Amino acid sequence: MLSMRGIGKGFLGVRVLSGVDLEVTAGEVHAVVGENGAGKSTLMKIICGVHAPDEGTIEIDGRPVTFGHPIEAQRSGIAIIHQEFNLLPERTVAENVFLGREPVRRGLVDRAAMEEATARLLDELGEGTFGPRDTVKRLPVAQQQIVEIVKALSVNARLLVMDEPSAALAEHEVELLYRLIGRLRDRGVAVVYISHRLREVFDLADRVTVLKDGARVTTLPIGEVTSDELIRLMVGRDLGACFPPRSAGAGEVRLSLRAAGNHRLRDIDLELRAGEIVGIAGLQGSGRSELAKAIFGAEPFTTGEMTPSCPRSVREGVAMGIGLVTEDRKAEGLALRQSVRDNVLLVARAVGAGNRGGVRDLLERVRLSPARREQEVRYLSGGNQQKVVLVKWMTMAPRVLLCDEPTRGVDVGAKAAIHGLMRELANDGMAIMMISSELPELIGMSDRIVVLRDGRVAGTLPAGASEEAVMRLAAGEVG
Amino acid sequence: MDLLTRAGRAARQARGGPASHAHDPARVVFLALFGLVAAGWALVAIDGGQFLTMESVVGIQQRSAALGIVAIGQTLAILAGSLDLSVAYLISLASLVAAEIMAGQDGNIGPAIAAVLVISALVGLFNGLVITRLQVHAFIATLGAALIIKGVVDHLYDGPAGKVPESFQLLGYSRVGPIPVSAMLWAGVAVVAWFLLSRTRLGHRIYAVGGDEEVARLSGIRTPRVIVITHVLCSVCAGIAGLLLAARLGAGAPTVGTDGGYDLESIAAVVLGGTALAGGRGGVAGTVGGVLLLAVLDTIFNQLEINSFVKDVVRGAVIVVAVAVYARRGTRRTA
């Protein structure tokens, strides 16, 4: 019923999708899989009218369509359950379910009809723990997910797109989701199912489409592929990049965690040693960034032990000699409208210590022309911005440096420079923890890879582990 | 039977949340209002006066009416995640337009009212389009509109102008029993707004856009349209307030809006009434309570003949404390 051909899409000159084909037939569950950043979510947003494709055609029942606004996709019978919750916490369940489509009688919103229809849908799902008039923010996350599903069902969708619908659900709730999807399929609804969890893909899907780096690798009936093959299709590529040579060995333990946890993490055991780069792998939502923030003191651990001591705040973290290169440098790492110099001195000024005089030397060390010292950071390229973030921490000569996606959105040349710099810092005796969604980078840089899953350590792999091995641990596929 | 029992069960479940309404900020503000009236009564009694006289009750209502009407419009804008700083100058402009067109003639009242409403709606349309089309933040967009109106008004007038006929002045001063006509007008506007917010699609959409614009958009709501409409309604409310003030003054005045401080005062009243400044939560009832609270506060201070500086200090403190209280409630609930 849905046929997409040659879909391409770019954002600000970065190509996210190119030449992607996708066909979905009525009564089919079609899984779409791929690594982080493979373009799955963008493809889904194109299906449901959030983004318009730059190229390619979309046909529904053989008729070409273009969606300029989500409402047009809705009218064509397409509903989506987004990865992030799309609910208004201050409004009731019924108001959320019928948001934008409130039933009207004599020009007025028919609350009774709205609540009755919502109650009926909740009943159909066997959901008796909350009602249509409950305020959404009072519901636990799993029930909010059910509200999302009810919302999608109430449209009477012919095509339902589910983007990681199980991410927030517990085991028995996933069962409920399975039953639901089965019922939808029987009704002839086409379901596009995006998930990182391969087990769900094999349990549910009729066919699977693999995306990699914004292009379609293949589409296969689920019976013709094994879990291992699927992982290989998702990650298989050449290790094109060259990485700096690893150091001889690790030194003293700079930081260690024992059974540490907080609301997002549980029972984390981890040691960071001087001179070592430890890679942290995991899918989105596995707790990677949360781990960095907890060690740094931004979202402190509440259980377990951290030695030498556990920072209760960012100031304590910095005082302990911990630096954090945040995932989103524009929002959390840099004051974009201030000069390079001001940004470099941000931390040094904040804690009233550090090497303020050596800005010129530090900039030279990262090969950032000192002539640009007074330039506003926002005019720098992504790579140079990231160097500024690194230099910001280098003024403090931290004992432990946590890098969250240090090369995201950075061109190849700057990437190599940042890799080189990180290795140099490690060789100088810094303990580095690196989080990255790019497996080749993670494998190429790390002396050790710790894989997280659902807020726990799923396993530790030695340097040079295969991408398949990392993915298997991250996705929870044993064997 | 199925449907009935289900609907019944749903209703019971909904009522199940015992604390769900105790947290309602509108209720909090009315409780505070009663508390304040009681306290005022006691204080004035100690002082040897009588608090709730006919005169003071009428005074509270009359003092509240204009601000109340502006604040209702402001409530709509703020609920949609916007705000309007141009209302004060628009009120001045509306009073001048009304008085000039009426020119003391009964026959011109109709056209004058129509002209004021049309001009206000156009100002709202301008605000809404600048915000949605040009992507200018509401704060700046409406500040710009305010300055533009100020420039025009200052250029054309340097004092009161026009004349409002006796019959229209009745709107400002006459009353039925203890209830002034102006207060009835305010009540009417409030009821219409309440009805709009709770019973129409537009109302639901206003909450949705203010709650989370992206969620609203992904749910198929054309969010720019909603924002433009709320600004038109907000400006029309300011226009009505301008008419009321013209009736009271008997003429139009270029400073009547700014002297009353209707821009910031209306925002303060809305926030005092428990509507979130970021939008998406709150309502008309709270705003009515907020306006009355400010008016009762004023009355108490007037009767006790307290220095007006102290009055401002207390008002400021009340507003800050109220918002802090709402913020605490908000976080505790989600925790």
What ipTM score was computed for the predicted complex, to two decimals? 0.74
Contact residues on chain A for B14, CB-CB shorter than 8 A = 92, 115, 131-134
Is residue B226 classed exposed, middle or buried when 0-12, 13-18 and 19+ CB atoms within 10 A define those classes? buried
Do the chains contact at B211 and A101, CB–CB below 8 Å? Answer: no
Do the chains contact at A86 and B215, CB–CB below 8 Å? Answer: yes
Q: Which residue of B has its CA nearest to A88?
A: B211
pLDDT at residue number B8? 37
Exposure b/e, B116-128, CB count within 10 A at least 16 = b: bbebbbebbebbb
Q: Which of residues 212-231 of B touch A (CB under 8 A)?
A: 212, 214-222
Question: Looking at the complex, does the CB of residue A102 fall below 8 Å from at least one CB of chain B?
Answer: yes
Nearest to B211 among A91, A115, A119 (CB): A91
Q: Determine phi and psi for B151, rounding to 5 degrees.
A: -60, -50
Contact residues on chain B for A135, CB-CB shorter than 8 A = 17, 20
- Residue in B3, B204, B209, B225 to test binding to A, most A beta-carbons within 10 Å: B204
Is residue A382 classed exposed, middle or buried when 0-12, 13-18 and 19+ CB atoms within 10 A define those classes? middle
Contact residues on chain B for A50, CB-CB shorter than 8 A = 218
Question: Looking at the complex, does the CB of residue A141 fall below 8 Å from at least one CB of chain B?
Answer: no
- Residue in A133, A143, A148 to test binding to B, most B beta-carbons within 10 Å: A133
Please tell me which residue, A170 or B77, carries the higher pLDDT value: B77
Nearest to B14 among A86, A100, A131 (CB): A131
Contact indicator for B233, B76 with CB cutoff of 8 Å? yes
Do the chains contact at B10 and A71, CB–CB below 8 Å? Answer: no
pLDDT at A477 over 70: no
Percent of chain A with pLDDT over 70: 93
Amino acid letter for position A8: G
CATH class for domain A2-235?
alpha beta
In angstroms, rounded to a whole number, what is the distance separating the alpha carbons of residues B166 and B150? 28
In angstroms, rounded to a whole number, what is the distance separating the alpha carbons of residues B320 and A192? 49
Do the chains contact at B215 and A99, CB–CB below 8 Å? Answer: yes
- Residue in B200, B215, B275, B334 to test binding to A, most A beta-carbons within 10 Å: B215
DSSP state of A332: I
Contact indicator for A274, A250 with CB cutoff of 8 Å? yes
Do the chains contact at B7 and A131, CB–CB below 8 Å? Answer: no
* Nearest-neighbour CA in chain B from A136: distance (Å): 10
Question: Looking at the complex, does the CB of residue A110 fall below 8 Å from at least one CB of chain B?
Answer: no
In angstroms, rounded to a whole number, what is the distance separating the alpha carbons of residues B258 and B266? 12
Q: Which residue of B has its CA nearest to A70?
A: B220
Give the position of tokens 């402001």: B74
Do the chains contact at B220 and A70, CB–CB below 8 Å? Answer: yes
Q: What is the mean pLDDT of residues A175-186?
A: 83
pLDDT at residue number B18? 35
In angstroms, rounded to a whole number, what is the distance separating the alpha carbons of residues A156 and A47? 17
The three-class DSSP label of residue A339 is strand
Do the chains contact at B215 and A120, CB–CB below 8 Å? Answer: no
pLDDT tens sequence across B219-253: 888 999 999 999 999 999 999 999 999 999 999 99
In angstroms, rounded to a whole number, what is the distance separating the alpha carbons of residues B206 and B81? 8
- Which strand (E) or helix (H) includes residue A160? strand A159-163
Do the chains contact at A86 and B3, CB–CB below 8 Å? Answer: no
Contact residues on chain A for B10, CB-CB shorter than 8 A = 115-116, 118-119, 122, 131-133
Mean of pLDDT over chain A? 84
Residues 6+ apart with CB under 8 A from A105: A113
The three-class DSSP label of residue A448 is strand
Give Cα A60 distance to the centre of its chain.
30
DSSP state of A246: P
pLDDT at residue number A360? 80
Do the chains contact at B14 and A133, CB–CB below 8 Å? Answer: yes
The three-class DSSP label of residue A365 is helix
Contact residues on chain A for B221, CB-CB shorter than 8 A = 71, 99-100
Nearest to A108 among B11, B14, B200 (CB): B200
Contact residues on chain A for B17, CB-CB shorter than 8 A = 134-135, 138
State the SS3 of chain B. Answer: CHHHHHHHHHHHHHHHCCCCCCCCHHHHHHHHHHHHHHHHHHHHHHCCCCCCCHHHHHHHHHHHHHHHHHHHHHHHHHHCCCCCCCHHHHHHHHHHHHHHHHCCCHHHHHHHHHHHHHHHHHHHHHHHHHHHCCCCCHHHHHHHHHHHHHHHHHHHCCCCECCCCHHHHHHHHCEECCEEHHHHHHHHHHHHHHHHHHHCHHHHHHHHHHHCHHHHHHCCCCHHHHHHHHHHHHHHHHHHHHHHHHHHHCCECCCHHHHCCHHHHHHHHHHHCCCCCCCCCCCHHHHHHHHHHHHHHHHHHHHHCCCHHHHHHHHHHHHHHHHHHHHHHHHHHHC
pLDDT at residue number A238? 44
Give domain A253-475's CATH architecture.
Answer: 3-Layer(aba) Sandwich (3.40)
pLDDT at residue number A24? 92
pLDDT at residue number A355? 60
Nearest to B220 among A100, A115, A133 (CB): A100
Residue B52: CB atoms within 10 A of its CB come to 14
Nearest to B280 among A88, A92, A138 (CB): A88
Residue A299: CB atoms within 10 A of its CB come to 18
Tokens of residue A256, six digits: 């260690």
Question: Looking at the complex, does the CB of residue B194 fall below 8 Å from at least one CB of chain A?
Answer: no
Contact residues on chain A for B207, CB-CB shorter than 8 A = 88, 90-91, 95
pLDDT tens sequence across B37-73: 888 888 888 888 777 788 888 888 888 999 999 999 9
In angstroms, rounded to a whole number, what is the distance separating the alpha carbons of residues A245 and B76? 62
pLDDT tens sequence across A399-431: 999 999 888 777 666 777 888 889 988 998 899
pLDDT at residue number B81? 94
Q: Determine phi and psi for B198, rounding to 5 degrees.
A: -95, -20
Do the chains contact at A120 and B3, CB–CB below 8 Å? Answer: yes
Q: Give the end-to-end CA distance of chain B in Å, rounded to a whole number.
A: 39
In angstroms, rounded to a whole number, what is the distance separating the alpha carbons of residues B85 and A315? 39
Question: Looking at the complex, does the CB of residue B251 fall below 8 Å from at least one CB of chain A?
Answer: no
Do the chains contact at A71 and B220, CB–CB below 8 Å? Answer: yes
Please tell me which residue, A44 or A239, carries the higher pLDDT value: A44
Q: What is the mean pLDDT of residues B98-125?
A: 95
Residues 6+ apart with CB under 8 A from B327: none
Domain boundaries, chain A: 2-235, 253-475
Beta strand ranges found along A176-332 (DSSP E): 190-194, 207-212, 215-221, 253-261, 268-273, 277-281, 303-307, 322-325
Question: Looking at the complex, does the CB of residue A95 fall below 8 Å from at least one CB of chain B?
Answer: yes
In angstroms, rounded to a whole number, what is the distance separating the alpha carbons of residues A330 and A326? 9
Contact residues on chain A for B333, CB-CB shorter than 8 A = 137-138
* Nearest-neighbour CA in chain B from A347: distance (Å): 30
pLDDT at residue number A128? 77
My answer on whether omega of the bond before A462 falls inside 30° of 0, hence cis, is no
Question: Looking at the complex, does the CB of residue A174 fall below 8 Å from at least one CB of chain B?
Answer: no
Nearest to A90 among B201, B205, B280 (CB): B280
Q: What is the mean pLDDT of residues A152-175?
A: 78
Considering all CA atoms of chain B, what is the largest pairwise distance in Å, rounded to the nearest integer? Answer: 72
Do the chains contact at B201 and A104, CB–CB below 8 Å? Answer: yes
Domain boundaries, chain B: 25-37+51-334
pLDDT at residue number B148? 97
pLDDT at A451 over 60: yes
Q: Give the end-to-end CA distance of chain A in Å, rounded to a whole number.
A: 37
Nearest to A119 among B10, B199, B333 (CB): B10
pLDDT at A239 over 60: no
Give domain B25-37+51-334's CATH architecture.
Answer: Orthogonal Bundle (1.10)
Do the chains contact at A91 and B222, CB–CB below 8 Å? Answer: no
- Residue in B23, B132, B201 to test binding to A, most A beta-carbons within 10 Å: B201
pLDDT at residue number A386? 87
Do the chains contact at B201 and A74, CB–CB below 8 Å? Answer: no
Question: Looking at the complex, does the CB of residue A145 fall below 8 Å from at least one CB of chain B?
Answer: no
Do the chains contact at A123 and B6, CB–CB below 8 Å? Answer: yes
Task: Give the pLDDT band of residue B196 (cuts 50, 70, 90).
Answer: very high
In angstroms, rounded to a whole number, what is the distance separating the alpha carbons of residues A212 and A39? 8
Q: Which of residues 17-36 of B touch A (CB under 8 A)?
A: 17, 20
Q: How far is CA A280 from CA A158, A379, B162, B306, in A?
A: 40, 31, 75, 66
pLDDT at A284 over 90: no
Do the chains contact at A88 and B215, CB–CB below 8 Å? Answer: yes
Give the position of tokens 């690790």: A250
In angstroms, rounded to a whole number, what is the distance separating the alpha carbons of residues A60 and A74? 12
pLDDT tens sequence across A390-399: 888 888 888 9
pLDDT at B140 over 90: yes
Do the chains contact at A70 and B218, CB–CB below 8 Å? Answer: yes
The most confident of the ranges A28-37, A213-222, B181-190 is B181-190
Question: Looking at the complex, does the CB of residue A330 fall below 8 Å from at least one CB of chain B?
Answer: no
DSSP secondary structure string, A346-359?
HHHHHHT-S--TTH
pLDDT at B101 over 90: yes
Q: Which residue of B has its CA nearest to A95?
A: B204
